[in-house]
Amino acid sequence: MTIKDAYHQAIQKLKNPEVEEINIRILLCEINELPSMSSFYFSEDEEVKDLQRFNELFERFLNGEPVQYLINKSNFFGYDFYVDKRVLIPRQESEEVVAFAIDKAKENFEEDNLTIFDVCCGSGCLGITLSRCLNAKKLYLSDISKDALDVAQKNLELNGIEGDVLLSDGLSEHLKQNLKCDILIANPPYIVNKDDVDASVMNHEPHLALFADKKLSVYDGIISNLTKVANKPFLAVFEIGYDIVSILEGIVRKYLPKAHYEIIKDMNGKNRILAVILK
Ligand SMILES: C[S@@+](CC[C@H](N)C(=O)[O-])C[C@H]1O[C@@H](n2cnc3c(N)ncnc32)[C@H](O)[C@@H]1O
């Protein structure tokens, strides 16, 4: 069967073809080892290399498994990351967080000599991308999950970036080792209301990566220790949920009453980033 025929047959089975059809193209590109999505259209008349495998993966996709876990790959900021069910799938919103951090870093620091912490790193997509784009001197990726760190280590190698992985609850291990950084980026779990979550996310992505307690203890633990790990000047950039701003502002004012901080909205107009600058 040709790629074109397999695509048209599969699309009939989608509930919401306009939104979901890209996943069929992703699977077919993977099966036929096409180098990019744009080559899909030039390869439409090729035979599908392994139709049985395509059908199996497509069936799993129809049953709710995210396509990135099926192909063990996610593109983030133009770079490829290995992913599996041990880590959150990198999100488009997080690309905005990294883009913001790059701009702010360029405004406030000399490049090429920076030490970066990615706390709650999961796959490592934030820290690795930031480190690549700023040509950082040193990168530390940390997470409370050993499984996530195994994935992050794989992604350091895949992206040709040197970095250390640390098993750490918040900043506990950094403090123990007396590590300091210029830039800290973090996307801690921030979903307080489980009803907000899609079934596919709920059933397949790690709950440790998603859900927060009402006091946002993970943010609290990191923010309360920022001054202990900060070189001066220092930039911390957090991804945040749109509905946790007032709790976070309380945490920042409590521990860093003199710090300059900003809340920035994403492209959809939702609060998405907390930036803290210490001078
Ligand atoms: C929302 S995910 C972010 C993953 C990745 N940074 C990203 O943006 O795709 C949150 C991560 O925080 C980790 N985590 C949860 N509680 C933690 C804690 N107390 N200390 C460190 N990491 C924690 C989870 O294991 C998960 O990998």
Reported as a single tens digit per residue, the pLDDT across 249-267 is 999 999 999 999 999 999 9
153 pLDDT higher than 80? yes
78-123 residue pLDDT tens:
999 999 999 999 999 999 999 999 999 999 998 789 999 999 999 9
Torsion of CA 26, 29, 32, 33, to 10 degrees: -110
Paired residues of 6 in beta bridges? none
Packing angle, helices 17-31 and 51-62, rounded to 10: 150
Percent of the chain with pLDDT over 70: 100
Are 43 and 32 in contact by the 8 Å Cβ rule? The answer is yes
- Beta-carbon neighbour count of residue 250 at 10 Å? 13
Q: Picking from 4-8, 40-44, 235-239, which range would have the lowest pLDDT averaged per residue?
A: 40-44
Q: What ranges do the domains of the chain cover? A: 3-63, 84-278
Higher pLDDT: 87 or 194? It is 87
pLDDT at 196 over 90: no
Q: Residue 121 Cα, ligand 1 centroid: separation in angstroms?
A: 6
Fold of 84-278: Rossmann fold (3.40.50)
Q: What per-residue confidence (pLDDT) applies to 36?
A: 80
Confidence band of 174 (pLDDT split at 50, 70, 90): very high
Using one digit for the tens of pLDDT, what is the confidence trace for 155-172? 999 999 999 999 999 999
CA angle 142, 146, 151 (to 5 degrees): 75
Give the model's pLDDT for residue 110. 85
pLDDT tens per residue, range 46-78? 999 999 999 999 999 999 999 999 999 999 999
For ligand 1, whether the C-beta of 187 sits within 6 Å is yes
Whose CA is closest to atom 8 on ligand 1? 187
Closest ligand 1 atom to 217 CA? 19
Going from the Cα of 10 to the center of ligand 1, the distance in angstroms, rounded, reads: 35
Nearest-atom number in ligand 1 for the CA of 145 is 25
Using an 8 Å Cβ cutoff, are 177 and 171 in contact? no
Residue 233's pLDDT is: 95
The rounded distance, in Å, linking the Cα atoms of 170 and 44 is: 48
